[in-house]
Structure 1
Amino acid sequence: MAGNRRRLRRDWQVHFRVTSRAGTYQSPLPSGRRRGATWASPRQGTTAILHAAGNETLAVAGAELAKLCPSHRHPLTSSTARGTTMNRLAQRYLAACFILAMFQPAASRGDEPLPRTPPLEPAAALKSFETRPGFEMQLIAAEPLVTDPVAMVYDENGLAYVAEMSDYPYTDKTTDKPFVERTMDRPIGRVRILEDTDADGDFDRGTIFAEAFSWPTGLALWKGGVFVAATPDIWYLKDTDGDHRADVRQKVFTGFRKFNVQAVMNNLVWGLDHRIYGAGSSNGGQIRPADRPDAKPWLLARNDFRFDPRHCGSGASGFELISGGARFGNTFDDWGNRFICNIRNPVEHVVLPGRYLARNPYLPVVSALHDAAESGDALPVYRISPPEAWRVVRAARMVAEANPATPRSETNAEGYFTSSSGLTIYRGAAYPREFYGNALLGEVAGNLVHRQVLSPDGVTFRAGRGDDHTEFVRSRDNWFRPVNYVNAPDGTLHILDMYRETIEHPWSIPDDIKAELDLESGRDRGRIYRLAPVGFQPPAPPKLGEASDAELVSQLENPNSWWRETAQRLLFERQPHEAVPPLRKLLKESKNPLARLHALWSLEGLSALSDDDLALALADAASGVREHAVRIAEPRLPQAPPLAERVIELADDDEIRVRFQVAFTLGELIRSPADEDVRARASVALATIARRDGADLWVRTAVLSSANESAARLLLELLADKDFVMGSEAPPLVRDLATVLGARNKPAEIAPVMEAFAKLGPKAAGVASPLIVGLGNGLKRSGKKLADVVPAGSASAHRIHHLYESAQTLAADSTAASDPRLAAIELLATADFSRSRETLAALLAPREPQSLQMAAIRALSGYADAEVAPLLLKNYSALTPGVRGEVIQALLAQRDACSPPTRSAATWPWRSINRRSSYRPTSAAGRPCFSASVRPAIG
């Protein structure tokens, strides 16, 4: 229940917090024996008590519980010497059923509807906030001046362009159907310009710049106009006559899928590289330039994207798919590190660039993203607003379903991240220094602003809660919906409050509950706040549009990111040759490393960056400048040997992030038409990084992305290094290089590696098993197995045989530690089924640790053998729910699972599969494969 504060006392009281109606109600359990079961709720947020005054009433409640929750199959009570006790699951069910009965929708209750919370007027809403000490919320715009704000940018003269998503979540609820595209919705979104005409820091004039957009969620400025992300299109708008209304309205890209309203592309932001980056989210699409409808589309899946604004609408595309693909949020830190957020993942760092990963299709990559912060059930939030009644009802239903896979954020109406939104790195100068670089985002359902503190962790970051057992900003107003944030010219963070009664995807609300809600309530409202230090007085609006080129260059040293980035953008737009000398001077002489970084990219954007400039940057004292210099120099290296030599030298840089970028760039040099000697030295440098950083997942992936065609050569070089093969960093790198080698499946590459494997001495035993595991896994990807590439009777075959024997013994040894046994199972998964069958099957016994059972199941699922399914099912009824889930997934991955023997069909767990999994078995032709003989077992 909401608050997760259930407990059982001797008098059988179950406590839980709810959003309540006033009054006292009798428990609606259908039995006539209801004494002591009451609902007392004189005010919102009170504690309700379900009181069963003794064992007799408890038994009645238990009987009714069985009727209300028929899926419950466990004893509700047990008898001991101390008397009757209620088990924990029964407590949860009893509480859930009580809430369901009290808050069941009106249609089935014949009662008044679910309670709804009225909005607060702006002055009252200001009083509802609780902020971190030293900060306050300052209202700078409210309806009717603005409504439904979800994105905002400030132009060079302080005008604010605001995207108003008035069509959230739909414009006609009668046409809203789950999993149906929303192509017919009426486009009622807008872009509005807000002005502060009297320079007091508050907006006092609003003008509709353009309207009739569908789901507008992102804005980016360019040459006096603005790009607008409005699914399914990206537009360019511009006012040419000064009336704050768009005269130019040009569609530049189209094809973004209009499907899930909470999974649309969003948040266009400028990068240091003069490209505009957008969050692609998860709707996908087939993206084309709007003026080239016959062009081959980019297939957007779980990707983000970027584009060059200079080429939009000119017949060229300038569009590129990049790593990413979360939900609503897209932000950079000062050094160009990009972060996104997902529903339950508040801070994800985009670590691996997709353009590098695409070079090696055999990479064993799990994700290009890193969860820098704790996520999901591991990260509580601390709201002060009561959960909405409908959320309490939905959570209670989830509890009653008793699905162990359901996260706590679904079985609790409050307390966990369910709607991360608008992730933004604070980069202004108005807050105390400790807040610079912090990540802020909204938990929109919880009416709060959450803060994470970022710190470097190798090539990526780790993030920790910034406020213990509280939040940076939280409101008692259920309508406060902080969906996005802006680093403003005044150095503070501006908060966009969509101000809606309900923020939730319509498909996520049961129909009977949804019938009592108005998901469009609040469409005529919206607020914008300045999150400021107490007593903060905003400066006058900027006038950078009137600044000279020299003045723009000087702003690259400004401590506020808005000023630096706006100055760099204006220089890129103007392309002034006169700015080159002061930029070179800034690159050479500035004491501010961020100013040198902006000068470096500005020179590149003006096509004025010389090799001498790059050489200077490659030797810069700041590692971030060196890192970006390597990236910029990359396309020049084949034709610039001195620069190539300098980049090769940086393989020994003290900073891991520089070596990380160098590892990527060396791959381009190795594949280039550069001098053969230069390419050879690049390969040696790549091996140097591999030795030093091979244990780091991210650097290892960078090395592997560069070593597609040279994987065998690199692996042989490493195996010949006696010091390396004895080190702790060797096994993961050897395994992954061998995986690439196996997936390539070229006998001429594999043979010398296997010869080197056979000659490995006793001190190199630590890399023998990882090499075989990697090679075996890679060969599986190419449809082969070890026996196909290792000659029978060879020295390498003999050594593999002994490895398997040792693995069988170790895996079966119940006295051994888990980690070595897990490694043994992983090795056995590469052996023939006839060798590993008995050992893996024995590990499915309930007496074995769950981790070993699941590892054995995964190993067995890799075999295409008719015996696998019966082995997995043999002890199914004795397995724990978690292990059963692994069995189900393994069965669904098995081709033979589609045609179980008729005689055993009744033993197959299809009921569990249907109830707990979104997957369905299909035949080899892709058709559902439930045969008539199996269908009775499905039920």
Structure 2
Amino acid sequence: MKYVTGLAIGLFFFNGITTTLAAAEISKNKGDREGHDMSDPIAAENIPPAPILSVEKALASMQIQPGFVLENVASEPLVASPIDIAFDADGRIWVAEMLTFMPNMDGNGEEVPEGTIALLEDTDGDGKIDKRTEFLNDVVLPRTVAVVKGGILYADQQQLYFAEVLAGDALGIREVIDSTYAAGGNVEHKPNGMLYNLDNWYYNTKSNRKYRVLPHSSAVPNGAKEIYRNKYWKMVIATTDNRGQWGLSSDDYGRLYHNGNSSPAEGEYLRPGVLMKNPGFQSSVKANALGSNRVYPARINPGVNRAYLPNTLISEGENAGKLAQFTAASGNQLYRGDQFPEDFYGVSFTPEPAGNLISARVVFESEGKLQGSELYPQSEILASTDERFRPVNLNTAPDGSLYVVDMYHGVIQHKEFLTTYLRNQYESRGLDKNNRSMGRLYRLRWESKPLGPQPTMSKQPPSQWVEYLSHENAWWRDTARRLIVQNQVMSVTTAIKQLVESNEDHRARVNALWTLEGLGQLDLDIIKVGLEDVHTKVRAAAIELTTRLDQSAHQEISQYLRRFASLSYEDALQVALIAGEIKGDDALLALKDVLINYGDKPWIKEAAISGLTGREKEFKALLVGTNLPEFMKMLNSVGKEDVNNSNALNLTADEQTSYNRGKALYSGKAACFGCHGADGAGIDNMGPPLKSSDWVNGPEQRLAKVLLNGLMGPIKVNGKQYNVSMIMPGFTASLKDQELADISTYIRNNWGNTSPRVSRGVFEKLRKAASSRDIPYTEKELNR
């Protein structure tokens, strides 16, 4: 059985090697598990040292595929413990530095407000950073940074902020946007990302929230609410699919790519949130794994949290001692630059800091599914023999290269999951030393092709931004769209429409349509241009954007939908997603045609119901005489599942109050949804289901112990084995007894569960009884 701890911040893994230890000694670290023999799989004399290497020696330690070259862009003292970067409109780098992550092996002092957000610049044009401006130096464990009109967005251990950037890069106002952005959980299990996507929303991983900047006068989109405003804009928030762990990227069509700790690359075939339109029928978009999770390190890897377990390391042959599979997949990047050869466009790159490498996967699309395969079979695009090389994030850069964010941090496993085995590994090679002052940024580029120019977009007129909407490098396309939309530059509307009408690159046409959406300048004529496009992806964007038109255009739009219903699977799928929102006479007839022609294809039934909101009965009448039993069963369940599966109405008034508090905690401070899903159905490789669960509805003391102290290892739920890779952390330190009782009320009376809540008194008693316990329970312990 393989056990790995979770990571929501991509940089924490499951490292491990150690000798057999006495039970009393083992209990020192929270990641230790009862019954584990933490004997060293590799003799100490066979493990190479892990000294701090100069940049020159670190580069010499890299094994890189032919044709590529790795160059250092910045290193200490210009950067330290970097975990995320963002390029502004002039190509300058904003970097979030988590300086206090695991400052010592006990993690004491990590929440001291000494994390930094810095601005890095290359002032002489030689391709290397030579200027550092420390913009903020009082952030608690900064987790993400993104650029926005007027300044930057960043998040700490708890909240999302706006920080205004004044002339001379001075700090202006600094205000909280969302006080619960990263509430609950520990440092490894919190949101991150803030990716500005094609649809003009910012998305996150380890989160079900999305954010959008709007002009003060703009209407708030359906399903969203305003949470903040400043002199530049207002911010709205809405719910989206919960996804990923650490890092986020997108393709040219707004589909999102992410990872899990042992799953290096996952892609969503559908645009985010498209199956969440119907409140009576919610269906999540399942991401597709892109290729296998095998890795091929350049050095042996004893320093992973559970290396002592079978199959964690390769046991024999020339690669004995090397990591076998991903355990710490971090911020993967779908490369959309123009500096690599054309065949690399759309390749998914994933860093594995536990294995000191970066892996690459080709992505290809089939009907209703994204798939992938290793670009370099049985090898990696880049692997290092330096154990301190910790790539945790990747970014496509303005110059077309791929930037590598190297935390260069010896300790990357958080105290919540650290085993005694790994602690000894870290200490034996001095990896616990000098972890606050080191850090590197690298540039991976194609050796025989020059780098692209440094942008100066903030100093250029908006007419130039329009030209960049069709740039070969997606960074320029995305940044130009953000600048035009967030600055609401209406004067360039005509020029953008000309891109839709005549640009040869379909990616530019798609981007231009969504730029018009962000400006609120879509009209029937330009949508018709998109609907008549020869490229499926442009038609797909145009079909989605018909929902932004006034209802007076719906009659004509519905005629297009009828034609697209039998054109191709992808066209039909887009019709299914929006037909119910179009009020023209042919819209529901088009949907009927889609179901008859493609009803057995992936996502069609779910898409149809998602888009039908409020018109289910009307559509059902159209289906008389058709043979669609599976669809009819789904259609008949609309609006019933939530009511039938919630027991809240059968509770007393006091219990209902507790239920509602627990509901807020589940999706907020406790962040339970991050691993178990908003629907309680569980999330692959993260958390088992709570829905109709014998663990939720079973003995109250067992559930209370899990909520207080956590759970680790495999677990059998309703007779099915779940080899979940993550440890569930306990809430002893973060939640009060009443809050735990409220969560129990909610989960024991939702999703088909109908069990009495666990009282506050039960939690009080068990908290006292287990006051000295600092490690999670195992199933075996709780079932004794």
What TM-score, normalized by structure 2, do the two folds share? 0.72
Once residues 508 and 322 of structure 1 are traced to their aligned partners in structure 2, the CA distance between those partners, rounded to angstroms, is 29
Counterpart in 2 of 1:330? 248
Number of aligned pairs?
639
| 1:306 and 1:320 in contact (8 A); partners too | yes
Counterpart in 2 of 1:665? 578
Once residues 277 and 173 of structure 1 are traced to their aligned partners in structure 2, the CA distance between those partners, rounded to angstroms, is 33
Once residues 936 and 437 of structure 1 are traced to their aligned partners in structure 2, the CA distance between those partners, rounded to angstroms, is 47
Alignment of 1:309-320 (within 5 A): 311=229, 317-320=235-238
| 1:556 and 1:567 in contact (8 A); partners too | yes
| 1:156 and 1:544 in contact (8 A); partners too | yes
Partner of residue 144 from structure 1, selected from 77, 89, 103? 77
Counterpart in 2 of 1:42? none
Other structure's SS at 1:247 match: strand
Alignment of 1:700-715 (within 5 A): 700-707=605-612
Partner of residue 683 from structure 1, selected from 559, 581, 588? 588
Partner of residue 448 from structure 1, selected from 336, 352, 357? 357
C-alpha deviation, 1:513, in angstroms: 4.9
Q: 2:308 aligned with 1:379, yes or no?
A: no
Pick closer, same or farther for the CA change 1:135–1:610 going to 2, 3 Å. same
C-alpha deviation, 1:269, in angstroms: 1.8
Other structure's SS at 1:446 match: coil
Counterpart in 1 of 2:29? none
C-alpha deviation, 1:124, in angstroms: 0.5
Partner of residue 205 from structure 1, selected from 112, 119, 131? 131
Pick closer, same or farther for the CA change 1:379–1:195 going to 2, 3 Å. same
Other structure's SS at 2:496 match: helix
Counterpart in 2 of 1:63? none
Other structure's SS at 1:173 match: coil
| 1:742 and 1:778 in contact (8 A); partners too | no
| 1:193 and 1:209 in contact (8 A); partners too | yes
Pick closer, same or farther for the CA change 1:384–1:590 going to 2, 3 Å. same
Counterpart in 2 of 1:58? none
Pick closer, same or farther for the CA change 1:417–1:589 going to 2, 3 Å. same
Alignment of 1:96-175 (within 5 A): 99=40, 117-169=50-102, 173=106
Other structure's SS at 1:226 match: strand
| 1:219 and 1:226 in contact (8 A); partners too | yes
Counterpart in 2 of 1:887? 719
Amino acid at match of 1:381: V
Q: 2:479 aligned with 1:538, yes or no?
A: no
Once residues 667 and 115 of structure 1 are traced to their aligned partners in structure 2, the CA distance between those partners, rounded to angstroms, is 63
Once residues 514 and 693 of structure 2 are traced to their aligned partners in structure 1, the CA distance between those partners, rounded to angstroms, is 53
Other structure's SS at 2:161 match: strand
Amino acid at match of 1:245: A
Counterpart in 2 of 1:457? 366
Q: 2:636 aligned with 1:741, yes or no?
A: yes
Counterpart in 1 of 2:651? none
Pick closer, same or farther for the CA change 1:557–1:883 going to 2, 3 Å. closer
Alignment of 1:44-443 (within 5 A): 99=40, 117-169=50-102, 173=106, 185-242=111-168, 244-255=169-180, 256-279=182-205, 281=206, 311=229, 317-351=235-269, 355-361=273-279, 363=281, 365=283, 367-374=284-291, 379-389=293-303, 391=305, 394-396=306-308, 398-399=309-310, 414-443=323-352
Once residues 191 and 145 of structure 1 are traced to their aligned partners in structure 2, the CA distance between those partners, rounded to angstroms, is 12
Once residues 70 and 277 of structure 1 are traced to their aligned partners in structure 2, the CA distance between those partners, rounded to angstroms, is 39
Counterpart in 2 of 1:926? 758
Amino acid at match of 2:580: G
C-alpha deviation, 1:719, in angstroms: 6.8
Once residues 575 and 288 of structure 1 are traced to their aligned partners in structure 2, the CA distance between those partners, rounded to angstroms, is 14
Once residues 574 and 285 of structure 1 are traced to their aligned partners in structure 2, the CA distance between those partners, rounded to angstroms, is 23
Once residues 364 and 570 of structure 2 are traced to their aligned partners in structure 1, the CA distance between those partners, rounded to angstroms, is 14
| 2:163 and 2:173 in contact (8 A); partners too | yes
Cα shift readout 1:536-569 (whole Å, capped 9, x = no counterpart): 5434422222222222222222111112222222
| 2:540 and 2:574 in contact (8 A); partners too | yes
Cα shift readout 1:779-809 (whole Å, capped 9, x = no counterpart): 98599xxxxxxxxxxxxxxxxxxxxxxxxxx
Other structure's SS at 1:455 match: strand
Counterpart in 1 of 2:498? 585
| 1:156 and 1:543 in contact (8 A); partners too | yes
Cα shift readout 1:466-516 (whole Å, capped 9, x = no counterpart): 110001111111111111111111111111101111222322222575376
Amino acid at match of 2:247: G
Other structure's SS at 1:395 match: coil
Amino acid at match of 1:689: V
Pick closer, same or farther for the CA change 1:646–1:193 going to 2, 3 Å. farther
| 1:362 and 1:740 in contact (8 A); partners too | no
Other structure's SS at 2:358 match: strand
| 2:209 and 2:240 in contact (8 A); partners too | no
Pick closer, same or farther for the CA change 1:603–1:889 going to 2, 3 Å. closer
Amino acid at match of 1:683: L
Cα shift readout 1:446-476 (whole Å, capped 9, x = no counterpart): 1110111111122331111111000111111
Q: 2:558 aligned with 1:645, yes or no?
A: yes
Cα shift readout 1:671-691 (whole Å, capped 9, x = no counterpart): xxx4xxx3x532221111112
C-alpha deviation, 1:609, in angstroms: 2.7
Cα shift readout 1:562-595 (whole Å, capped 9, x = no counterpart): 1222222222244334322322222212112122
Pick closer, same or farther for the CA change 1:386–1:699 going to 2, 3 Å. same
Other structure's SS at 1:221 match: strand
Pick closer, same or farther for the CA change 1:433–1:519 going to 2, 3 Å. same
| 1:229 and 1:268 in contact (8 A); partners too | no
Counterpart in 2 of 1:694? 599
| 1:352 and 1:369 in contact (8 A); partners too | no
C-alpha deviation, 1:327, in angstroms: 0.5
Other structure's SS at 2:463 match: helix
Once residues 716 and 578 of structure 2 are traced to their aligned partners in structure 1, the CA distance between those partners, rounded to angstroms, is 45
Counterpart in 2 of 1:500? 409
| 1:447 and 1:474 in contact (8 A); partners too | yes
Pick closer, same or farther for the CA change 1:116–1:232 going to 2, 3 Å. farther
Alignment of 1:899-914 (within 5 A): none
C-alpha deviation, 1:231, in angstroms: 3.0
Counterpart in 1 of 2:686? none
Cα shift readout 1:894-922 (whole Å, capped 9, x = no counterpart): xxxxxxxxxxxxxxxxxxxxxxxxxxx99
Once residues 207 and 936 of structure 1 are traced to their aligned partners in structure 2, the CA distance between those partners, rounded to angstroms, is 52
Once residues 476 and 233 of structure 2 are traced to their aligned partners in structure 1, the CA distance between those partners, rounded to angstroms, is 32
Other structure's SS at 1:239 match: strand
Cα shift readout 1:850-903 (whole Å, capped 9, x = no counterpart): xxxxxxxx9999xx9xxxxxxxxxxxxxxxx9998753789xxxxxxxxxxxxx
Structure with the larger RCO, 1 or 2 (CA within 8 Å, 6+ apart): 2
Alignment of 1:703-782 (within 5 A): 703-707=608-612, 720-721=625-626, 725=627, 734-742=629-637
Pick closer, same or farther for the CA change 1:567–1:922 going to 2, 3 Å. closer
Larger radius of gyration: 1
Counterpart in 1 of 2:532? 619
Pick closer, same or farther for the CA change 1:388–1:686 going to 2, 3 Å. same
C-alpha deviation, 1:707, in angstroms: 4.3
Partner of residue 508 from structure 2, selected from 595, 599, 607? 595
| 1:257 and 1:286 in contact (8 A); partners too | no
Other structure's SS at 2:167 match: coil
Cα shift readout 1:322-368 (whole Å, capped 9, x = no counterpart): 11332001111112111121112222223456755444455474x41
Pick closer, same or farther for the CA change 1:240–1:643 going to 2, 3 Å. farther
Amino acid at match of 1:887: G
Structure number with higher helix proportion: 1
